[in-house]
Amino acid sequence: MNIPRVLNRKNRILLKELAKTDFKLRYQGSVLGYLWALLRPLMMFAILYIVFSKLLRIGSDIPHYPVYLLCGTTLWSFFTECTSQGIQAIIVRGDLLRKISFPKYIVVVSSQLTALINLGINLIVIVIFALINGVMPTWSWLLIVFPILELYVLSLGIAFLLGSINVKYRDITSIWDVIVQALFYAVPIIYPIQMVASTSVKAAKLILLNPIAQCIQDVRYNLITTETVTTWNYVLNPTVIIPILIVIVILVLGALTFRRKSKFFAEEI
* 132-149 pLDDT tens trace: 888 888 898 999 999 999
Question: For residue 204, which of 222, 181, 187, 190 has the smallest C-alpha distance?
Answer: 187
- What value does the mean pLDDT take over residues 215-234? 82
DSSP string, 89-129: HHHHTHHHHHHS-S-THHHHHHHHHHHHHHHHHHHHHHHHH
pLDDT, tens digit, for every residue of 71-100?
998 999 899 999 998 998 888 877 777 777
More confident residue, 110 or 52: 110
Instruction: With a cut of 70, say whether residue 233 has pLDDT above it.
Output: no
* Whole-number Å distance between alpha carbons of 62 and 194: 10
**Contact (Cβ atoms closer than 8 angstroms) between residue 86 and residue 111:** yes
Instruction: With a cut of 50, say whether residue 163 has pLDDT above it.
Output: yes
More confident residue, 54 or 176: 176
Intra-chain end-to-end CA distance of the chain, in Å:
21
Kindly report the average pLDDT of the chain as a whole number. 82
pLDDT the model gives residue 180: 93
3-state helix, strand, coil in the chain (%, to 5): 80, 0, 20
* Whole-number Å distance between alpha carbons of 112 and 160: 11
Phi, psi dihedrals of residue 217, rounded to the nearest 5°: -65, -35
**Contact (Cβ atoms closer than 8 angstroms) between residue 150 and residue 244:** yes
129 C-beta neighbours (distance < 10 Å), count = 17
pTM: 0.85
* Whole-number Å distance between alpha carbons of 53 and 90: 40
Confidence of residue 204 (pLDDT cuts 50, 70, 90): confident
Which residue type does 179 have?
I
Percent of the chain with pLDDT over 90: 28
Confidence of residue 218 (pLDDT cuts 50, 70, 90): very high
